[in-house]
Amino acid sequence: MSVKYIYYLPLILFCWSCAQQGSPSGGARDEDPPVVLESDPPNYSTRFEAKRIEVTFDEYIVLDNVNQQLIVSPPMEEQPEVKLKKKTMIIEYTDTLKSNTTYTFNFGNAIKDLHEGNKLQNFEYVFSTGDILDSMSVRGSLKYAENLEVPDEAISIMLYTDLRDSVPLLDIPLYVGRSNDSGVFSVNNLRPDMYKVFALKDGNNNLLFDLPTEEIAFLDTSLIVNADLTRQLLGDSIVSLSIPDTTGADSSAFASDSIAELGPDLNAIYIDLMLFTEASDIQYMTDYIREDRRKLELVFALPLSDTFSIRSLQAADESAPRFLEHFGMNRDSLTLWIQDSAHYKKDTLQMVLGYTVKDTTEQFVVRRDTISFTYREKQSKNKREQVPQKEEEKLEIHTLRNNGNQDLNRDLPMRLDFPMGKLNDTLFSLFHIPDSVELPIPFVLKADTLNPYRATLSASWESASAYRMLALPGALKSIYPMEHDTIDISFKTRDLEYYGQILLSLANVNNQVLVQLFSGKTLIEERIVKTDGQYSFPFLSPKDYSFKFIHDLNENEKWDTGEYLTKVQPEPLELLPVEIEVRSNWDHEVSMTLEK
């Protein structure tokens, strides 16, 4: 490098470093939602006659899905047109307004600022065509009846002054509200009156309960919305009738939009609604499958009745195939295993099904369907390649992994991929290994009477002990001629001190209750309880558990959903407010007083 360039180098580096200075950060991120500066006509106007509304904000905004978010109560026949001009939101409509009526335009989460996306939640523009603004409200919380979870999307809350039972099926509501992402709702600016209250997850956005899959909730009785009655109910203490249960929830989620934040209010009535889907009575076949030559699978919308029948169609000189039938747990599916090779080797089998359905007059009749089960061998993608010869088919036995752990309170499971045929316990051996010496011990081998693919081996297991099980070929047989390889596994039993125990004290048991113990979403155990007392749940692995209590009012040993037109609510259930962290070698005492 020349002396001249060396001389200028410090100056060049200085200028370059100045050019690399970072740009200003711009300060803290804006987290404030848009603010309304003015409205024309003013919000909460009376004697309202305008056809155009302008709402001006302090910053530029965007409208996100406004046609779906905007709820007008009472509903208009034509949805208002909403557009933007700079910082002003313009609302125009053509409907003729009802006289002496308070209207509420609720924008849900549609309004947010342009740059940061901060939402102005549940902004309402309210006006009255009469001399006064109606000020009553119906507030409450909405949960799913089956699990007490909050809906993950907005649900319409609908109020009617027409008290006919059929009104939600035929007419749109007089007032409409919407639940938020915490399940909380508030239908505001109501006139004093008697209302039918209905919640709907509206599948076709027509504000009518007209689809069998739509989720609904309803009050058993009409609701009187009246300020004097509210004052009598709340009294001087000003205590709300119902506040959402926030047990286990993040309290910050209720900071700005919960009932506890909004009220209590002398102009509000508080209710709770339980959302459910009615049980369908429409029976039909949803699918039929033949992925294995030997196996025919059928799936139905509802459990099959005893009138169900199935027969094959074959030539007059052919014998009918023999099937092994296996209905699913809820009897809404059926697997047929073809036992005759002459029949399952056919590529196509035709079957005639007979099952009970309701006809158009609501009468039960037997429907008959003819279906074809087709099986095609998998072909090589490259036609020039030869399909390899199939190896001899082996019977796969699924059990504990080698060196696995066996629970002290359970039998050793064995599962086949095909229905069980015969068991030969003379080809089984079970050894206890206390000190590196294998000692044969007695056991009982039996097939599961409810599951044709399962067998169990039971023994008197000792705590924290080593075992070995040996099953020679032919020990387990399926209904097809195939054999399994020798099964030789070593395993250990859990230490008794590995387990924890829950001691549940139940009070106020006034009807049959199904007590369900869960680990996450997995049902661990279910019991039927009819009296107060303490109930033990032993041999629990160390993890978190939860309890669900189903009030089995009709004593059919399952949870039943509701039906609107017959005014049947879903069977109530309760949850233990906290999860139980079970630790090894520990008794965990918990108590639960059920609601009446």
User: Residue 249: its pLDDT value, please?
Assistant: 32
Asked if residue 588 belongs to a domain, the reply is yes
CB 383 within 8 A of CB 354: no
What percent of the chain is modeled with pLDDT above 70?
A: 87
Final residue in a domain of this structure, among 88, 110, 128: 128
The dihedral of CA 162, 166, 170, 172: what is its sign? positive
Residue 297 belongs to some domain of the structure: yes
Number of domains in the chain: 5
Provide the token pair at 485: 């390889």
**CB atoms near residue 346 (< 10 Å):** 15
Residues 141, 231 within the same domain: yes
Q: Say if residue 476 is in the same domain as residue 362.
A: no
Provide mean pLDDT across the span 454-471: 97
Mapping DSSP onto H, E and C, the string for 447-475 reads ECCCCCCEEEEECCCCCCCEEEEEECCCC
Q: What is the mean pLDDT of the chain?
A: 87
Per-residue pLDDT at 230: 67
Residue 27, in any domain of the structure: no
pLDDT of 26: 54
pTM metric for this prediction = 0.80
What local confidence, expressed as pLDDT, does residue 327 receive? Answer: 94
Q: Write out pLDDT tens, residues 214-246.
A: 999 999 999 999 877 766 766 544 333 333 333
Task: Give me the pLDDT at residue 292, please.
Answer: 94
3-state secondary structure of 385: coil
Q: What is the DSSP pairing of strand 587-593 with strand 500-507?
A: parallel
Under the banding of pLDDT at 50, 70 and 90, the label for residue 382 is low
Residue 580 tokens, joined: 């139980």
> Which one of 128, 147, 162 terminates a domain?
128
Mean pLDDT of the 299-328 span = 90
**83 shares a domain with 50:** yes
Same domain? For 493 and 510 the reply is no
Distance CA 463, CA 496 (A): 6
Give per-residue pLDDT as tens, 136-159. Answer: 999 999 999 999 999 988 899 999
Same domain, 266 and 311: no
The dihedral sign for the CA sequence 189, 193, 199, 205: negative
User: CATH number of the domain that 51 lies in?
Assistant: 2.60.40.1220
In this structure, are 268 and 295 located in the same domain? no
User: Do 169 and 143 belong to one domain?
Assistant: yes
In a domain? residue 387 = no
Q: Which amino acid is at 268?
A: A
- Copy the structure tokens of residue 234: 């709340």
pLDDT digits (tens, 9 = 90+) for 153-187: 889 999 999 999 999 999 999 999 999 889 999 99
User: Dihedral sign, CA of 149, 150, 155, 161?
Assistant: positive
pLDDT of 571 reads 97
Neighbours of 516 (CB within 10 A): 18
Do 442 and 358 fall within a single domain?
A: no
Between CA 421 and CA 478 the distance in angstroms is 4
Instruction: Please check whether residues 123 and 149 belong to one and the same domain.
Output: no
| Residues 6+ positions from 232 with CB-CB distance below 8 Å | none
Q: Of 497, 523, 550, which one is at a domain's C-terminal end?
A: 497
Band of residue 3 on the pLDDT scale cut at 50, 70, 90: very low
Query: Is 438 part of any domain?
Result: yes
Which CATH number characterizes residue 329's domain? 2.60.40
In a domain, 156, yes or no: yes
pLDDT number for residue 407: 96
Q: Are residues 417 and 529 in the same domain?
A: no
For 87-131, write each residue's pLDDT tens digit: 999 999 999 999 999 999 999 889 999 988 899 988 999 999 999
- How much of the chain is helix, strand and coil, in % rounded to 5? 10, 40, 50
When pLDDT is averaged across residues 21-32 and rounded to a whole number, the result is 61
SS (H, E, C) 224-288: EECHHHHHHHHCCCCCCCCCCCCCCCCHHHHCCCCHHHHCCCCCEEEEEEEEECCCCCCCCEEEE
CATH number, domain containing residue 493: 2.60.40.3710
We report the CATH number of the domain holding residue 205 as 2.60.40.10
Does pLDDT of 586 surpass 50? yes
Do residue 142 and residue 269 come from a single domain?
yes
pLDDT tens-digit readout, 29-41: 778 899 999 999 9
Q: Which residue range is the domain that position 228 belongs to?
A: 136-275
Same domain, 452 and 575: no
Q: Is the pLDDT of residue 453 over 90?
A: yes
Asked if residue 348 is part of any domain, the answer here is: yes
Query: Does residue 290 sit within a domain?
Result: yes
